[in-house]
Amino acid sequence: MRLVVALNRYHCGLMPSTSSEPDPAALSILQQVFGYGAFRGEQAAVVEHVLRGGDALVLMPTGGGKSLCYQIPAIARHRAGRGVTLVVSPLIALMHDQVGALEETGVHAAFLNSTLEGDEARHIERELLAGRLVLLYAAPERILTPRFLAMLESLHERGLLSLVAIDEAHCVSQWGHDFREEYLGLSVLHERFPDVPRLALTATADHHTRRDILERLRLQDARQFVASFDRPNIRYTIVEKDNPRAQLLRFVLDEHDGDAGIVYCQSRKRVEETAEFLREQGVAALAYHAGLDAAVRKDHQDRFLRDDGVVMVATIAFGMGIDKPDVRFVAHLDLPKNIEGYYQETGRAGRDGLPADAWMTYGLADVVNQRRMIDDSPAAEEFKRVQRGKLDALLALAEGLDCRRVRLLGYFGQASEPCGNCDNCLTPPTAWDATEAARKALSCIYRFRQHSGLSFGTGHLIDVLRGKLTDKTRQHGHEQLSTFGVGADLSEAQWRGVLRQLIALGHLASIGEYNTLELTESARAVLRGEGSLLLRVPAEPTRRPRAARGSGRAKVPPLPLDDLAAQRFLALKTWRAEVAREHNLPAYVVFHDATLAEMARGQPDSLDALAGISGVGVKKLQAYGSEILRVLQAA
């Protein structure tokens, strides 16, 4: 039972604090407004530091409760007559959801963005200037306009600019995975309002990105809070590509039939083709990329947030700031650029703390494409060097034989033990010594150059190594080479694995329009037999029994609920959906699934008992308490 309660509270980042006693006013807000009994990890320390007027850089994993680190100080400082907290947010969808969630708890919040009509915007500006707003959300482009800065000046002069929270702060860094130039101008907030505390928050930042955030936002003296990056509820699985769409379909149907999920693809065309393929197979899939009409993008995003069981197939244009807690899987059909991007994207699964999957398939073409994008970019050589290092770290994660979580956390400087929950821990991979095979491949490429002065691609190289006579082999006389057929004992898949690893390690380079292979300087050491090359043997996927597919059936969360509790849970979900439609909000903004599951399991029979459920604050108890008791009694 303790584990279940802990999981229920994880979705808002609330677990017992490891810090000193929290500020009583902050703890009261946490309990009365948000309905949670205790802070988690560094949250209490961050809140106390900000309440004292200190600057901070906060690194917490997605779903780790970053928002509370500024929302609670904002409420406390507003109650003390300190005015409004400005929240810098890059995404309209995130502003809408967070403002809706705050208003549901009784906190007066608003946003200013392009979706507002003139009268609506002017009303919010009046609320702002009067100091009645607790939090105002706005994008950096709007904040940096002369009109907006003038409003902030007016607030500041009257002591009503309380706090500045810069969300998704990694966007300010050129080393990060989602650099946005408009973030660079945010240092003006320090220059104009040096006495106003500032809080920068992000879920992912390695050493380079962290240093950039501090320098570019003028936060060199800020206290840094770094929470654990571990997301123990997420299972990491990486498989080699072999008909990736079929692999994805098998994963979705066998593991997550009817669940909400996100599938990331590198190109817009691949997004649309994959979404159509999944729909043809009966999966409720939508496409999202920057090339779609804005109205279509908004409709698809709204459907993903509000409907159950929708799978969004998208480029990385989708996802940052998405607060949907019940995303049960994130899948990658293409290799991301670096571990920060991978971690940020996979972190959108399981924000409620319940079991979720991060699944990825990748192959030789992914390695070639990512290397080429770096090499062909117009960036400075120092930037390219850093990006190659980041890609190398991701490839090491993908190719590694050890625990995925240990490698992932190690990248962010955190030591850990094998998790027992990733694919490598659950099904330890076997390895084979590919050193001699690697020397054969490199030698064959050398012979190509010797024989005709030309270089060739992977397909032809594998044909020659396996002794396959083709028109191209005969055309170039490669059947006469000493390396012809020396690799006949290996399959085409094995050879692709060898070449992928040689490219990943930098011993081979893929050149030009036709992806021809060239030896690099480091290939000499391999040819001389210096060092060894161990490769994983691809494992057959472990398939769980497929659940019977239902037509639009309601999903029960992956928590221990008996039959009667499950019936009560589904009744609560139906009631919640009606409330969400009335308020034009995603259902999870009303209550998270984990909160409904705790209600269904505990079956409170009074308002006092209901108040003890994690996630039920005073305002929600007043607004919905009687209705919830009615639904529970009728179910």
State residue 173's pLDDT score: 83
State residue 463's pLDDT score: 95
Indicate whether 14 pLDDT > 60: no
What's the average model confidence in pLDDT over 11-23?
48
Task: Count how many Cα atoms sit within 13 Å of the Cα of residue 434 in the half-sphere of its side chain.
Answer: 22
Chain-centroid distance, C-alpha 133 = 30
Indicate whether 604 pLDDT > 80: yes
State residue 174's pLDDT score: 67
Which neighbouring-strand residues pair with 263? 313, 331
Tokens, residue 496 = 């692709």
CA dihedral 609, 610, 612, 618 (to 10 degrees): -120
The residue to which tokens 């650099």 are assigned? 179
Query: 313 in helix, strand or coil?
Result: strand
What's the average model confidence in pLDDT over 481-490?
94
| DSSP notation for 525-574 | HHHTT-S--EEEPPPPPPPPPPPPP-SSPPPPPSS---HHHHHHHHHHHH
State residue 382's pLDDT score: 85
Q: Tens digit of pLDDT for each residue in 107-155?
A: 999 999 888 888 999 999 999 999 999 999 999 999 999 999 999 999 9
What's the average model confidence in pLDDT over 557-581?
87
Indicate whether 570 pLDDT > 60: yes
Q: Which of the four pLDDT bands, split at 50, 70 and 90, describes residue 259?
A: very high
Contacts of 433 (CB under 8 A, 6+ apart): 532, 533, 534
What's the average model confidence in pLDDT over 188-212?
90
Bigger pLDDT: 151 or 534? 151
Query: 58 in helix, strand or coil?
Result: strand
The answer to whether 437 touches 498, Cβ cutoff 8 Å, is yes
State residue 322's pLDDT score: 74
State residue 381's pLDDT score: 86
Bigger pLDDT: 534 or 472? 472
Domains of the chain: 10-226 (3.40.50.300), 234-427 (3.40.50.300), 432-536 (1.10.10.10), 563-634 (1.10.150.80)
Angle between helices 435-452 and 458-465 in degrees, nearest 10:
110
What's the average model confidence in pLDDT over 582-609?
90
The answer to whether 108 touches 60, Cβ cutoff 8 Å, is no
| Cβ atoms within 10 Å, residue 474 | 11
- Residue 586 CA to residue 305 CA, distance in Å, equals 6
Query: 255 in helix, strand or coil?
Result: helix
Among 16-25, 513-522, 525-534, the least confident range? 16-25
Which neighbouring-strand residues pair with 161? 84
Tokens, residue 90 = 């890059």
What's the average model confidence in pLDDT over 197-214?
87
State residue 482's pLDDT score: 94
Q: Tens digit of pLDDT for each residue in 227-245?
A: 888 899 999 999 989 899 9
- Residue 250 CA to residue 292 CA, distance in Å, equals 28
Bigger pLDDT: 600 or 306? 600
What's the average model confidence in pLDDT over 552-580?
81
State residue 505's pLDDT score: 81
Chain-centroid distance, C-alpha 264 = 11
Query: 209 in helix, strand or coil?
Result: helix
Q: Which uninterrupted H or E stretch holds 471?
A: helix 471-476
Indicate whether 3 pLDDT > 60: no
- Shortest CA distance to 96 belongs to which of 109, 81, 83? 109
- Residue 381 CA to residue 399 CA, distance in Å, equals 26
What's the average model confidence in pLDDT over 44-53?
94
Report the amino acid identity of residue 246. Answer: A
What's the average model confidence in pLDDT over 304-308?
87
Give the Å distances, CA to CA, from 61 to 12, 226, 441: 12, 9, 42
Indicate whether 441 pLDDT > 90: yes
Sheet strands (E) in 284-347: 285-288, 311-314, 327-332
- Residue 436 CA to residue 418 CA, distance in Å, equals 31
State residue 15's pLDDT score: 35
What's the average model confidence in pLDDT over 582-586?
86
State residue 92's pLDDT score: 76
- Residue 522 CA to residue 502 CA, distance in Å, equals 10
- Shortest CA distance to 13 belongs to which of 54, 56, 51, 69? 69
Q: Which of the four pLDDT bands, split at 50, 70 and 90, describes residue 551?
A: very low
The answer to whether 342 touches 221, Cβ cutoff 8 Å, is no
Phi and psi angles of residue 110, each rounded to the nearest 5 degrees, phi first: -155, 170
Contacts of 194 (CB under 8 A, 6+ apart): none
Bigger pLDDT: 483 or 548? 483
Contacts of 444 (CB under 8 A, 6+ apart): 461, 464, 465, 481, 483, 486
pTM surpassing 0.85?
no
% of the chain beyond a pLDDT of 70 = 92
Q: What is the mean pLDDT of the chain?
A: 87
Indicate whether 16 pLDDT > 60: no
State residue 1's pLDDT score: 32
- Shortest CA distance to 330 belongs to which of 420, 264, 250? 264
Indicate whether 201 pLDDT > 90: yes
